[in-house]
Amino acid sequence: MITQKAKYALRALTALAEADDGEPVMISDIAAQQKIPKKFLEQILLDLKHQGIVVSRRGKQGGYLLLKPADMITFGEVLRIIDGPIAPLPCLSITAYRKCDDCDGEQTCQIRHVFAKVADATRKVLFSTTIADAIAPARGTQVTRMLA
């Protein structure tokens, strides 16, 4: 299960993508539209900003904007920022690799190579699907970008 926080992050990004007209969108607007607790959303957007997914404008008339085009933001990168590693085992993580302390020998680990397949399958979906795909479901995965 992904966290509630990750769901909020993805929803917020789709909201930003849909309103993408060069004008910043206020946290309060996104919060209201997507039913996200405002103060919680503040933290989430701040994270996304620190990680280079969105930019903000402060003061009156401020708000948030996507930093990259919506078809360049994948579900995978958002999930990594918010929920951490995609991999089902630490020893399969690309961004946060850690040796399993209870298994000796990754070549021989009976569990590991099964979950390697799971990780591959999951990544294939998550990194080929973008925020743009999410707001235009009919067009199917990656089509937006491939036609561009």
In whole angstroms, how close is the CB of 138 to a copy of itself at the nearest point? 11
Stretch of residues binding DNA (CB under 7 A), selected from 59-67, 69-77, 118-126, 134-142: 59-67
d(CA 128, CA 13): 16
Q: Angle 17-23-27 (CA atoms, 0-180°, nearest 5)?
A: 70
d(CA 92, CA 113): 9
In whole angstroms, how close is the CB of 123 to a copy of itself at the nearest point? 10
* Binding partner of 143, given DNA, a copy of itself, none, CB within 5-8 angstroms per partner class: none
Which residue has 């989430």 as its token pair? 44
Contact assessment for residue 72 and residue 130, using Cβ atoms and an 8 Å cutoff: yes
In whole angstroms, how close is the CB of 62 to DNA at the nearest point? 4
* Residues at the interface with DNA (CB under 7 A): 3-5, 24, 26-28, 37, 39-40, 42-43, 45-46, 49-50, 56-64, 83
